[in-house]
Amino acid sequence: MNKSILRVRFKRLLLFITSLFFIVNLFGQSAVSLKGQIINAETDEFIGSANIVVEGTNIGTSSDREGYFEIQNLTAGRYHILISVVGYNKKRVSVLLPQKTAETIQFKLVPEIKELGNVDVFGHQFLISKDTSIVREPLSLATAISRINNKLQLSANY
């Protein structure tokens, strides 16, 4: 065989082996999970419904009632995590995920105190006079009906 043909075959074989090694290495990375719990830094109470987002991605989740969360299918490496929930200061944390899933990490959030300015309340008061006197007098049926109609018309005007 010709030396040039052998060189071409060798280069192709080398390229194939290198590509195969790269593909195996790329898909061979095991997926890890980030597990954590969100708690109040002052009271150590659980914080449910907190938003947890991996910055720079569209990957995220929210914590359950006990503050636990899990983000799956991450590769080992460093991530910046943004944690937010109404009533607390946002927290940005850098997390290094090892090859194997680590234990649950606790993230403590500080309550956010916002003071409101003055609140002005406006309203209108409607005065309705009510006749609460009781008078006992004999009435004819026509007079009683007339008085009831007058009261109903007065209350309908309000």
Same domain, 104 and 67: yes
Kindly state whether residue 130 falls inside one of the protein's structural domains.
Answer: no
Is the domain of 47 the same as that of 96?
Answer: yes
| 21 and 38, same domain (yes or no) | no
The residue segments making up the domain with residue 5 are 1-29
Whose structure tokens read 């990957």? Answer: 59
Question: Tens digit of pLDDT for each residue in 80-139?
Answer: 999 999 999 999 999 998 887 667 899 999 999 888 788 787 777 666 666 666 767 777
On whether residue 99 sits in a domain, the answer given is yes
For 2-18, letters b (16+ CB in 10 Å) and e give eeeeeeeeeeeeeeeee
Element holding 68 (H helix, E strand):
strand 68-74
Measured distance CA(69)–CA(105) in Å, rounded: 10
Is the whole model's pTM more than 0.75, yes or no? Answer: no
Residue 125 counted as domain residue: no
Instruction: Kindly report the number of other CB atoms within 10 A of residue 97's CB atom.
Output: 17
Report the alpha-carbon distance of residue 79 to residue 55 in Å, rounded: 7
| Residue given tokens 């209108």 in the structure block | 124
Please indicate, yes or no, whether residues 23 and 85 belong to a single structural domain of this protein. Answer: no
What pLDDT sits at residue 48?
Answer: 95
Query: Last residue of some domain: 109, 134, 150?
Result: 109
Given a cut of 60, whether residue 148 has pLDDT beyond it is: yes
